[in-house]
Structure 1
């Protein structure tokens, strides 16, 4: 075991930070151009084209690698500049590019770009099936999901042989990477596009949704401390981690120099004598004294506790935003946006699809006029997962009515989840297709069945080139991202050969996370002696008064919802060129789900329909108060 056994990967947002990282002993540095990366808040950071070439030359002369970040989502209008940038990168030869959007993977293959690709943490990779699929398209390294334990990381490494990159120091997201759309929907500035306004750093109080009673008072309940694996370097190496990643492209050069040199010395100490190694306490004290936030190891060794969070917020270096009220579905601003937009051009008459959580609701929405239904996937307590008998009964009900029924997979899947999913296909159940939630599920389902595949909203499809990539994998319809403004949705539908589905109504998640919110903030909760606490309707209230319902699924993942449910009924005619319009009815009773389905059915059929009247449901317009999701090219 020597220094080349593992890689110390440092960030750089400026030339000075690059020099500091290289001089301090980084084996590789990751940095971004002026567009297409996850740090575009400040125009004084990042590298223009000439600086990128100079950075690569500077690093290569010193035996250091350079990885360029192309790791945000790309809207349709950005595809041409992206293609030009990829061609340029292929001439200056960075050692790899870091990617999130499947459009980049598609373009690299189409253009014959020869730069290796690393899958960003934003790809939300949690299982071996996803890694095996990515390897087929030239991905040589994966930045694994931050929710994985080191044991799970080892399993992926051993089963796939892929290089593993792991966040070992720095800022951490509360939500699963790629599965947080709160900033994009509320502010029009997407965390998946490098413009996160950090709603996870706001203060919240935990309440009982049914009574309004405060269960845990105001604090920064989502504000994770900074990751720090300094005391666990041996664990990372023995887990099979290839690259030790430090977060911090917005940090000053002196901060980067101190951090990199500290980790360089500690890693070298371990590699020189693994059996005789012990943590250098002087280095540790220096690291701790110069911390930004307090430290955590998050999920590396198991579940998080309140000690992993900066509940007071006193160590937050910058507050990017404050909570704001979400616009109502009939807000004048929203109406003005739609009034100035033409409808989607298409000869297609959209199908009406409904996602349901129970057999009774499935029967209700079929009777109310749904063309297609989705069953399975995540089920929120106190409801229980679908049994095989219930799935078969739903299939019979749908087919007897001449409707289609699709099995949904979870939006995030670990290997255990995919193994359980495969059991369904071993029973030869008569579904019309599968709504897949992630690349691993897509790969696993393709290996088990020839059923048509639909891509769920969790794929974050922003552009027709990403849709084209999914189509090449056998997907026959994809759901548009909930972060796209209407003009961007229209552009996606009109320019994509793959039929596009749009979510137009229902309670939608702003975040999905693996932190056990009940265990963190309910003093009387114990998952062994009081599991019934998970059946309570909990919610987080923000400082603007928005109440974000919380639901936990059968995989013990927590879903944080927007304060308002999406309702596009006043403008639904604008969307009629899409292939399908979806109602998310997982949180609705059978009666409410049927009522909403009937109203949208009438609208789709061109008949007079009742005004939406849901006094117990606060209805909103989602991202559609904005003309577009702000992009990264100005």
Structure 2
């Protein structure tokens, strides 16, 4: 016997759509206002505040529920209006808030609001430990990561208490949710703020060593359809089945809602005797936009989940963007003497780099628990122990950083690593996800927050500080103006100023696809061959693979915020981080020396261009400050 209190949750972007999906059998509807939600590219969609009030009344009259998406990341100048908006949503008695930014949870608690909080899929919740963390913050429901397998969902359900919601049908992003910075880093249009340019839907050439595949849509995930697997999901513990499509019309959505309504009703009635309705499945297939797949429900996605030929890809009016390169004339002389100098923080991936930098006055080193290919960047456990022992011998401060992605299948490994770390004298453990954070605080560890936590405003920063993080790294999407506002709040904030920029992380092994051996055992080409996506402008995005075979796609140019050192120093950034884990040792030493020289100049009231010119010569293929200076773009 399993839970038969099942919810069918439908999207609505317009009033007539809300009426249609309610009449078609949805138990609840999720919708967004004209502000503060993830679907902001089409102004003719979403609900005014008065329409939200009417929607709540309309649905409540039918004993149905309205959940409102408050699922963006928010910047400092939006927080006052956001607070007023949350008051309004309480007043009109909506039934739940769908939340990405922890700032909303902080405001919710300080205001004493009683609207149930649902963790958005954008939080990337993929472990039972993360669910427990959210339970401690007062959340009542979690919308699980779309990247989870059925086995992982079942395991999470067995080890947590919150209601579990899962997407059953609709669009799929190729990236792990909440960790796709592609659109914002290349064009200043943040996916985490509802403005994604969909670079995953562009055409690329895929290159592996000397092999080059024809142009195709190698990141264009086909649509999710879990209709044939509803019984297994119910048995695994999913209680709410969510249909994607707030920008879809009523004719498309009504077909979906009727089919899923009928299926869930039959599951409630028949339970284990339930069989999938083949006719209804065929009707869904005929109504499809892209081809269907079950995503990662049965394991990591393969290339057959991708619409490589683009034949069913809807038109989206964007195109590749040229990454803006830094030039000599970008340097601006300034007269400023810094009262205090931020620490330099350097992430390293081998013992030789530590030895070269030991006398460079590094605030602390970052030793990551991930290992990347090709090049074997990172540490085996034996190498990590040697590095920690070396730091202790030399009196060097260091932290150990957990991976950016931790799913239920990774959790036991992370727990074991955290347990083994207890024997060493690290300064802190840096966490990038809520599950690792939960496990770290259960062990009483000193904890720092990594950029993967997506902290970009003072209210979110205050919550993570109150919950035990000693300091945190601002998200890489934070623009210049918003970072200054965050620093002005007086929190201990670190800023990434140099290094490779990861645009997205996907479970799809593009390297295996490039090798053309999807039906054969993996020959681990990623150990030796460099792989790239090449866009229509000729820009190369390098693909690296971690130990779980997740692919990390990096921007063509490294980030450099050297020119912003005077302002970051004046704004009292706590630490300036260099992502040195993928640099050859000599390159890393030179980069650190350049930044140290710039900080030294500021300490005595100087700021000349010589170190900056050295930086440009070090990177003749170009470096970028991206969209950091452009507030309006984000």
- What TM-score, normalized by structure 1, do the two folds share? 0.93
Residue 364 (structure 1) aligned to one of 350, 356, 361: 356
Helix, strand or coil at the partner of 2:258: helix
The superposition leaves residues 321-355 of structure 1 with CA deviations (integer Å, 9 ceiling, x where unpaired) of 111110002386x76xx89x999x99542100011
Q: Mapping of 1:509-528 within 5 angstroms?
A: 509-524=502-517, 528=521
Deviation at 1:283, TM superposition (A): 1.5
Change (3 A) 1:172 1:328: same
Structure 1 residues 411-420 or 18-27, which shifts more? Answer: 411-420
Helix, strand or coil at the partner of 1:217: coil
Residue 502 (structure 1) aligned to one of 474, 495, 504: 495
Helix, strand or coil at the partner of 1:624: coil
1:473 match: 467
Determine if the alignment matches structure 1 residue 430 to structure 2 residue 425: yes
Deviation at 1:305, TM superposition (A): 2.2
1:22 match: 22
Structure 1 residues 243-252 or 305-314, which shifts more? Answer: 305-314
Q: Mapping of 1:394-413 within 5 angstroms?
A: 394-413=387-406
Q: Mapping of 1:320-339 within 5 angstroms?
A: 320-330=317-327
**Structure 2 stretches of 5 or more lacking a match?**
603-607
The superposition leaves residues 363-400 of structure 1 with CA deviations (integer Å, 9 ceiling, x where unpaired) of 22334442211002322123165244433432344345
2:434 match: 439
Helix, strand or coil at the partner of 2:416: helix
Whether the 8 Å CA contact 2:449–2:471 is kept in 1: the answer is yes
Q: Mapping of 1:278-293 within 5 angstroms?
A: 278-293=275-290
Q: Mapping of 1:96-135 within 5 angstroms?
A: 96-135=96-135
Deviation at 1:423, TM superposition (A): 3.2
Change (3 A) 1:21 1:416: closer
**Structure 1 stretches of 5 or more lacking a match?**
none
- CA distance in 1 between counterparts of 2:2 and 2:383 reads 56
1:545 match: 538
The superposition leaves residues 78-104 of structure 1 with CA deviations (integer Å, 9 ceiling, x where unpaired) of 000000011111111111100000000
- CA distance in 1 between counterparts of 2:15 and 2:598 reads 56
- CA distance in 2 between counterparts of 1:66 and 1:26 reads 11
Determine if the alignment matches structure 1 residue 237 to structure 2 residue 234: yes
Helix, strand or coil at the partner of 2:549: coil
Q: Mapping of 1:257-296 within 5 angstroms?
A: 257-296=254-293
Whether the 8 Å CA contact 1:476–1:498 is kept in 2: the answer is no
Helix, strand or coil at the partner of 1:219: coil
Change (3 A) 1:527 1:466: farther
- CA distance in 1 between counterparts of 2:150 and 2:392 reads 45
- CA distance in 2 between counterparts of 1:64 and 1:342 reads 63
Residue 379 (structure 1) aligned to one of 347, 360, 371: 371
1:206 match: 206
Helix, strand or coil at the partner of 1:478: strand
Determine if the alignment matches structure 1 residue 462 to structure 2 residue 456: yes
Structure 1 residues 260-269 or 436-445, which shifts more? Answer: 260-269
Determine if the alignment matches structure 1 residue 618 to structure 2 residue 612: no
- CA distance in 1 between counterparts of 2:528 and 2:403 reads 20
- CA distance in 2 between counterparts of 1:50 and 1:509 reads 41
Residue 417 (structure 1) aligned to one of 398, 410, 415: 410
Determine if the alignment matches structure 1 residue 485 to structure 2 residue 479: yes
Determine if the alignment matches structure 1 residue 571 to structure 2 residue 564: yes
Structure 1 residues 262-271 or 612-621, which shifts more? Answer: 612-621
- CA distance in 2 between counterparts of 1:331 and 1:318 reads 39
Computed over aligned residues only, the root mean square deviation of the Cα atoms, in angstroms, reads: 2.3
Change (3 A) 1:21 1:67: same
Helix, strand or coil at the partner of 1:559: strand
Residue 584 (structure 2) aligned to one of 589, 596, 599: 589
Change (3 A) 1:529 1:206: closer
- CA distance in 2 between counterparts of 1:326 and 1:153 reads 39
Change (3 A) 1:347 1:81: farther
- CA distance in 2 between counterparts of 1:418 and 1:45 reads 39
Helix, strand or coil at the partner of 1:207: strand
Deviation at 1:529, TM superposition (A): 5.7
Whether the 8 Å CA contact 2:33–2:49 is kept in 1: the answer is yes
2:56 match: 56
- What TM-score, normalized by structure 2, do the two folds share? 0.93
Whether the 8 Å CA contact 2:152–2:409 is kept in 1: the answer is no
Change (3 A) 1:171 1:269: same
- CA distance in 1 between counterparts of 2:371 and 2:172 reads 27
- CA distance in 2 between counterparts of 1:342 and 1:626 reads 23
2:524 match: 531
- CA distance in 1 between counterparts of 2:445 and 2:229 reads 45
Whether the 8 Å CA contact 2:2–2:235 is kept in 1: the answer is no
The superposition leaves residues 266-300 of structure 1 with CA deviations (integer Å, 9 ceiling, x where unpaired) of 22223322344322222222211111111010101
Deviation at 1:225, TM superposition (A): 0.6
Structure 1 residues 307-316 or 165-174, which shifts more? Answer: 307-316
Change (3 A) 1:91 1:51: same
- CA distance in 2 between counterparts of 1:396 and 1:14 reads 60
1:222 match: 219
Whether the 8 Å CA contact 2:481–2:629 is kept in 1: the answer is no
Change (3 A) 1:237 1:415: closer
- CA distance in 2 between counterparts of 1:86 and 1:204 reads 42
Change (3 A) 1:525 1:586: farther
Matched residues, number:
620
- CA distance in 2 between counterparts of 1:384 and 1:323 reads 29
